């Protein structure tokens, strides 16, 4: 059976009709499979005569400590630890996330099989052979990915976050949507009652059960300054990016609002009465409300060119992003560890923590964008995209986007449906 994705990747109209037929078939098939699955599982359990112990890793646990508690000898532990490192790339355990299963032939027998589960999508099986030698085998668990669609509307006095939760968008997906929209929108000024938004995202299933969520595939938001749309698109070279509806890179070199969901408390002004000094002077940045200790991410990739204190800015960091842009973050309570003059930072890397040092009336982030040595308004300055598509890729993108839009339109009318990817 052909997958919907293949249709989405080639050309358009008839294929969408076929895709929808495939979709309905898959929905029907899914219902059949999900009804049947529990029966075969019961049979398997009845036949299972081995004894199984499951250990959930908690803080402070070590792999050798856990193995020792299960009665494994020193030399066995060394062998297993080395094998996990060499064959499965597992060096340590993560508390509250990793699980280890120990299998014995009976209560009294020694462990003959160990299953390490480092993610819902991977299992590492260690088995002890007749010569008491351990072998390692990694199994990737098959996942079914579905694209699901959620939409909502901003109500009076609402925030995008509340509206998103009400629309049933999972918190992790909502955070990703924020990250994307923050390149284009200012949540303070662009969000009003009555605005509609939607998101198409991946849900991952294993044997018919929902396990986790994947990527945001498309976002749409009716902002005051026009409809903002972004699509995730995979290029021929395997690289993945987000693009606007015309195929221009949506991920900008800088973020307008470094802290997600932070309210603007003072905007960029060439003249304003200073709240502490009392006289009129320019406000060369934007202030975002942020409690003391709120992590401050770098608005873009770059290099720290200044890190210090002055009476106005308090603790501040200045980052050079390229030949054109610099950003500055002021009133920090403290700097992030390892962030010094000369440090190269990623976009989104935490550089410090909000505070109220310097000339400040309360904890907030004062954020400046400096373009060719001149202060500009971070919320309105035109920002260059990180990644644009060449002509061929753009043509492929537009075809994909039209097909995806048709899928979205269908899902918007049938929100209980999904697209199998
Ligand atoms: Zn300020």
Domain assignment of residue 157, given as a range: 144-251+387-420
Q: How far away, in angstroms, is 288 Cα from ligand 1 center?
A: 8
pLDDT band per the 50, 70, 90 thresholds, residue 47? very low
pLDDT digits (tens, 9 = 90+) for 306-360: 999 999 999 999 999 988 999 999 999 999 999 999 999 999 999 999 999 999 9
Are 118 and 148 contained in the same domain? no
User: What pLDDT is attached to residue 94?
Assistant: 82
pLDDT band per the 50, 70, 90 thresholds, residue 274? low
Are 183 and 277 contained in the same domain? no
> Residue 264's closest CA among 291, 288, 237, 240?
288
Does residue 8 or residue 89 have the better pLDDT?
89
Q: How far away, in angstroms, is 281 Cα from ligand 1 center?
A: 11
CA distance 144 to 202: 10
Q: Are 182 and 260 in contact (CB under 8 A)?
A: yes
pLDDT digits (tens, 9 = 90+) for 209-265: 999 999 999 999 998 878 999 999 999 999 999 999 999 999 888 998 898 878 888
Are 317 and 301 contained in the same domain? yes
User: What pLDDT is attached to residue 395?
Assistant: 96
Q: Give the distance from CA 82 to its chain's centroid.
A: 32
> Residue 302's closest CA among 286, 288, 313, 318?
318
Q: How far away, in angstroms, is 407 Cα from ligand 1 center?
A: 44
Which of 49-63, 208-222, 406-420 is least confident?
Answer: 49-63
Q: How far away, in angstroms, is 68 Cα from ligand 1 center?
A: 57
Q: How far away, in angstroms, is 367 Cα from ligand 1 center?
A: 7
Q: Which residues does residue 320 pair with via DSSP β-bridges, in sequence order? A: 303, 326
pLDDT digits (tens, 9 = 90+) for 137-176: 999 999 999 999 999 999 998 888 899 999 999 999 999 9
Q: What is the CATH number of the domain that holds 182?
A: 3.10.450.350
User: What pLDDT is attached to residue 261?
Assistant: 75
pLDDT band per the 50, 70, 90 thresholds, residue 278? low
In a domain, 32, yes or no: no
In a domain, 181, yes or no: yes
Are 228 and 319 contained in the same domain? no
In a domain, 29, yes or no: no
Q: What's the number of domains the chain is made of?
A: 3
Q: How far away, in angstroms, is 357 Cα from ligand 1 center?
A: 12
Are 370 and 269 contained in the same domain? yes
Q: Quote the mean pLDDT of the chain.
A: 85
Q: Which residues does residue 54 pair with via DSSP β-bridges, in sequence order? A: 101
In a domain, 6, yes or no: no
Q: Counting every residue, how long is the chain?
A: 421
H/E segment holding residue 65: helix 63-69
Are 391 and 245 contained in the same domain? yes
Q: What is the CATH number of the domain that holds 348?
A: 2.70.70.10
In a domain, 33, yes or no: no
Are 174 and 221 contained in the same domain? yes
SS3 125: strand
pLDDT band per the 50, 70, 90 thresholds, residue 182? confident
Does residue 67 or residue 46 have the better pLDDT?
67
In a domain, 239, yes or no: yes
Q: Which long-range contacts (CB under 8 A, 24 or more apart) does 90-96 make?
A: 90/116, 90/118, 90/124, 92/63, 93/57, 93/61, 93/62, 93/63, 93/66, 94/57, 94/118, 95/57, 95/58, 95/59, 95/60, 95/61, 96/56, 96/57, 96/58, 96/59
User: What pLDDT is attached to residue 339?
Assistant: 96
Q: How far away, in angstroms, is 376 Cα from ligand 1 center?
A: 13
Considering Cα of 265, then 179, then 169, then 354, what sign does the dihedral take?
Answer: negative
Which of 24-38, 44-58, 64-78, 352-366 is least confident?
Answer: 24-38
Are 245 and 392 contained in the same domain? yes
Are 136 and 97 contained in the same domain? yes
User: Which range is most confident: 109-113, 131-135, 145-149?
Assistant: 145-149
In a domain, 23, yes or no: no
Examine the fold and report which residue of 112, 140, 168 is the final residue of a domain before the chain moves on: 140
Are 283 and 350 contained in the same domain? yes
Are 274 and 354 contained in the same domain? yes
Contacts of 4 (CB under 8 A, 6+ apart): 19, 22, 23, 407, 419, 420, 421
- According to DSSP, the β-strands at 240-243 and 226-234 are antiparallel
| Strand segments (E) across 333-372 | 334-335, 344-345, 350-353, 364-371
User: What pLDDT is attached to residue 242?
Assistant: 96
User: What pLDDT is attached to residue 191?
Assistant: 83
pLDDT band per the 50, 70, 90 thresholds, residue 9? very low
Q: How far away, in angstroms, is 58 Cα from ligand 1 center?
A: 43
Are 274 and 361 contained in the same domain? yes
Q: How far away, in angstroms, is 268 Cα from ligand 1 center?
A: 8
CA distance 19 to 22: 5
What integer is the mean pLDDT of 290-316? 96
Q: How far away, in angstroms, is 191 Cα from ligand 1 center?
A: 22
Q: How far away, in angstroms, is 35 Cα from ligand 1 center?
A: 59
What integer is the mean pLDDT of 400-415? 94
Examine the fold and report which residue of 108, 140, 172 is the final residue of a domain before the chain moves on: 140
User: What pLDDT is attached to residue 42?
Assistant: 35
In a domain, 416, yes or no: yes
User: What pLDDT is attached to residue 117?
Assistant: 87
Q: How far away, in angstroms, is 386 Cα from ligand 1 center?
A: 27
Whole-prediction pTM value?
0.71
């Amino acid at each position: 059976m052909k997958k919907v994705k293949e249709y989405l990747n080639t050309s358009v109209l008839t294929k969408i009709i076929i895709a929808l037929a495939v979709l309905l078939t898959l929905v029907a098939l899914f219902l059949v499979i999900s009804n049947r699955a529990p029966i075969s599982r019961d049979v398997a359990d009845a036949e299972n005569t081995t004894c199984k112990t499951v250990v959930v890793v908690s803080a402070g646990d070590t792999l050798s400590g856990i193995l020792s508690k299960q009665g494994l000898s020193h030399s066995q532990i060394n062998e297993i630890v080395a094998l996990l490192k060499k064959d499965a790339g597992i060096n340590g355990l993560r508390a509250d996330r990793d699980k280890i299963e120990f299998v014995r032939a009976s209560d009294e027998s020694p462990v003959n099989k160990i299953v390490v589960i480092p993610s819902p999508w991977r299992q590492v099986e260690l088995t002890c052979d007749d010569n008491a030698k351990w072998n390692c085998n990694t199994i990737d668990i098959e996942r079914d990915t579905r694209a699901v669609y959620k939409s909502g509307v901003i109500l009076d006095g609402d925030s995008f976050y509340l509206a998103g939760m009400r629309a049933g968008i999972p918190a992790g997906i909502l955070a990703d949507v924020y990250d994307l929209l923050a390149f284009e929108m200012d949540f303070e000024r662009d969000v009003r009652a009555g605005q509609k938004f939607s998101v198409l995202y991946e849900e991952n299933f294993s044997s018919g059960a929902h396990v986790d969520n994947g990527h945001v595939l498309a976002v749409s938001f009716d902002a005051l300054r026009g409809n903002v749309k972004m699509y995730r698109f995979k290029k021929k070279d395997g690289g993945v990016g987000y693009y606007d509806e015309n195929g221009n890179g949506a991920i900008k070199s800088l973020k307008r609002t470094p802290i997600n969901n932070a309210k603007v408390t003072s905007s960029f002004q060439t003249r304003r009465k200073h709240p502490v000094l009392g006289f009129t002077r320019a406000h060369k940045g934007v202030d975002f409300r942020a409690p003391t200790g709120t992590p401050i991410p770098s608005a873009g990739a770059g290099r720290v060119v200044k890190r210090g204190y002055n009476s106005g800015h308090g603790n501040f960091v200045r980052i050079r992003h390229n030949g054109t842009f610099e950003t500055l973050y002021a009133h920090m309570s403290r700097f992030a560890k390892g962030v010094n003059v000369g440090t190269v930072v990623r976009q989104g890397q935490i550089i410090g923590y909000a505070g109220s040092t310097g000339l400040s009336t309360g904890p907030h982030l004062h954020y400046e964008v400096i373009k060719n040595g001149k202060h500009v308004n971070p919320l309105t300055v035109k920002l260059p995209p990180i990644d644009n598509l060449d002509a061929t890729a753009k043509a492929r993108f537009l075809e994909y986007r039209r097909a995806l839009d048709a899928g979205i339109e269908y899902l918007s009318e049938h929100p209980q449906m999904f697209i199998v990817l």
